[in-house]
Amino acid sequence: MPSQSDAEKSKNGAHVACIMDGNGRWAKKRGLPRTAGHTAGEENLAEVVRQAAKRNVGWLTVFGFSTENWVRPKAEVRHILALHKQLFGRIEELNANNVRVQWIGRPFDEPGSKTPLYVQKAIRQAIADTASNTGMTLTVAFDYGSRAELARAVRKSKIELFTVTKQSIEERLYLAQMPPVDVLVRTSGESRISNFLLWQINHAAVYFTQRPWPDFDADDLDAALALLDA
Ligand code: IPE
Ligand code: IPE
Ligand code: MG
């Protein structure tokens, strides 16, 4: 697939990437089960998408579930999977906001892929049903790990080109047309990257906030975007 020029990649506003952390702590503080925190986090994502779509955000990429997260308790993983069906199912809202949905993660046909069929279906449906929207692109990272993405890109480059360059890697990332991240956000007081978009955040500004993800709001979004004007 030919890669887009940098001008094409950046014409539609900033690329904001969020590591949506702290759902469990948000719930614990309220005496609720961790699953309630994930539910609140999914609802807040819907609101953040609405807010971002109103601003100069061209790309919003969010870390929903990492390749490392499968080791969490079964009931929690089941709950998070169901929430992904729900979030990819918000088609009417996404269309109303002119938002195009994408997914980034380990391909379903790769050995070791654990994504259940019903989540695969929801992802495919959301991508198809929002494909013609021309506003913001929302990319949900599900079963995503950056090192695996990079290893695969290098492997493909060697097989297809017998060589490896910066460009050959970039063109073989999971979503070659995704522009570089302008600002990386992590909520809940952690300042780790946790294997998220290691290649794409090369030149990103970073915005760390103490707020857990369910409390991340439009003011936080504005503060993160303000880093780009500094
Ligand atoms: C982020 O919240 C959601 C996922 C990683 C799926 P956490 O579940 O990591 O919440 P904390 O970090 O335990 O508070
Ligand atoms: C990163 O959060 C992954 C997501 C937000 C989906 P974690 O809570 O899993 O990260 P670590 O393990 O604390 O670094
Ligand atoms: Mg966490």
Q: Whole-model pTM?
A: 0.95
- Print the SS3 string covering the chain: CCCCCHHHHHCCCEEEEEECCCHHHHHHHCCCCHHHHHHHHHHHHHHHHHHHHHCCEEEEEEEEEEHHHHHCCHHHHHHHHHHHHHHHCCHHHHHHCCCEEEEECCCCCCCCCCCCHHHHHHHHHHHHHHCCCCCCEEEEEEEECHHHHHHHHHHHHHHHHCCCCHHHHHCCCCCCCCCCCCEEEECCCCCCCCCCCCCCCCCCEEEECCCCHHHCCHHHHHHHHHCCCC
Model confidence at 5, pLDDT cuts 50, 70, 90, reads very low
97 assigned to active site? no
21 assigned to active site? yes
Q: Average pLDDT, whole number, for the chain?
A: 95
**Over 60: is that where the pLDDT of 8 sits?**
no
Residues 6 or more apart whose CB falls under 8 angstroms from that of 1 comprise 171, 176, 177
What is the 123 CA–ligand 1 centroid distance (Å)? 21
pLDDT above 70: percentage of residues in the chain: 95
Q: How many CA atoms lie within 13 A of 72 on its CB side?
A: 17
User: Which among 19, 23, 30 is the best mutation to test ligand 1's pocket, defined by most ligand atoms within 8 Å of the CB?
Assistant: 23
What is the 38 CA–ligand 3 centroid distance (Å)? 11
In this predicted structure, what is the pLDDT of residue 12?
66
What is the 21 CA–ligand 1 centroid distance (Å)? 5
